Chains A and B, each alone.
Chain A
Amino acid sequence: MSKMTKLVLGAIFVELIAVAMIVPSIRWDAISVNLSAATGARRLDTVRLIVTFIAPLVLALSGVLTARRLKSPAPSLSSPHRGYAEAGILVAAFFLMAYQGWFAGHLGESQIAHASREFMLRAGTIFAGMVMAVQGNFTAKVPFPSGPRAPDPATWTRVKSRSGWIMSLAGLMIAVSAVALPLQLLLEVFVILAASTSGFVVVQNLRLRASPSV
């Protein structure tokens, strides 16, 4: 991982931690009122708190896994593969920062209301879907790794093509759902699609490890 990528990721991680620590403590009075209420406000603030706290953890985990993969001498990743992985983690980090900021910014409020906020949430989700679709589009363009423990090229081609299709279709579905679904369903659909796609990609990558070329 290049120094610049590490620097940017580190700065974003510090920002995510700061938001997760500071914003809930500043607004705790309003949050506790919402959490003790038996209305939709309770559910809204629960979701906002989860997103606010989970964002730095997701970035830390993704960053560590990406750094480990890029550092590994065997198999040696091609230069486009490194660029693809670094660009992917940077886009994810910026997205996490925006999403966490949006959710933390509304902590303690009793409703989503406001048309401009709804627009922002929908626009952000469309952006996330499109990023996933574009990332999926280029997944199979990455040349296969070389050296010891490199995966079998034939399996690599099949796995990356399949993963790319799944990511692109899921990304497009997320973007379409951001336009078509009611706001209450949006987060659930986004989480289900993103989590199932990530799970599929992880399983596919495990298959690659299980089929070394030598």
Chain B
Amino acid sequence: MSAVFKALADPSRRRVLQLLRERPMTAGELAGHFPFAKPTMSAHFAVLREADLVHATKVGGSIVYSLKLSVVEDALLGFAESLGVGVERNSHQAKGETS
């Protein structure tokens, strides 16, 4: 369960899950929604896979991610989203990176 909390504590990973709500997407499609480098996105995907929140399928040369949320995890996602968990920390990190 701690892996789930860790995965949901980051707003970028929560955004990935929100995007997957619409439809399954390839890693490239998901990465297109974020200003991060490939290794950063790969690390986010790895955390989500480790927490068993996404299902990864290899189709041809790309990996397709789909949502794999239980009701409790879905509720936790909504809860973390409404409280803005990790948002402040992320903005501090972004400021640190730019300065």
Contact = CB atoms under 8 A, between A and B. Distances in A.
- Is A bound to B? yes
Interface of A: 136-141, 143-144, 153-154, 157-158, 161, 164-165, 168
Contact of B68 (A136, A143, A154, A168): A143
B66 A144 contact: yes
B71 A168 contact: yes
Contacts of A157: 20-21, 23-24, 66-67
B55 interface: yes
Interface in B59-74: 66-72, 74
Given A143-B55, A144-B66, A154 B71 contact: no
B46 to A, nearest CB: 18
A137 B21 CA distance: 17
The 8 closest A-B pairs by CB, nearest first: A154-B23, A137-B71, A168-B71, A153-B24, A137-B70, A164-B71, A143-B55, A141-B70
7 contacts: A140-B70, A140-B71, A144-B66, A153-B66, A161-B21, A161-B67, A161-B69
A136 B74 CA distance: 12
A157 B53 CA distance: 13
A137 B76 CA distance: 12
B31 to A, nearest CB: 19
B69 A140 contact: yes
B22 interface: yes
A137 B22 CA distance: 20
Contacts of B74: 140, 161, 164-165
A136 B72 CA distance: 10
A137 B72 contact: yes
Contact of B71 (A136, A144, A153, A158): A136
A165 B22 CA distance: 17
A168 B74 CA distance: 12
Interface string B40-67: 0000000000001001000000000011
Nearest to A142: B68
Given A143-B55, A153-B24, 19 more contacts: A137-B70, A137-B71, A140-B68, A140-B69, A140-B70, A140-B71, A141-B68, A141-B69, A141-B70, A143-B68, A154-B22, A154-B24, A157-B67, A158-B21, A161-B21, A161-B69, A161-B74, A165-B71, A168-B71
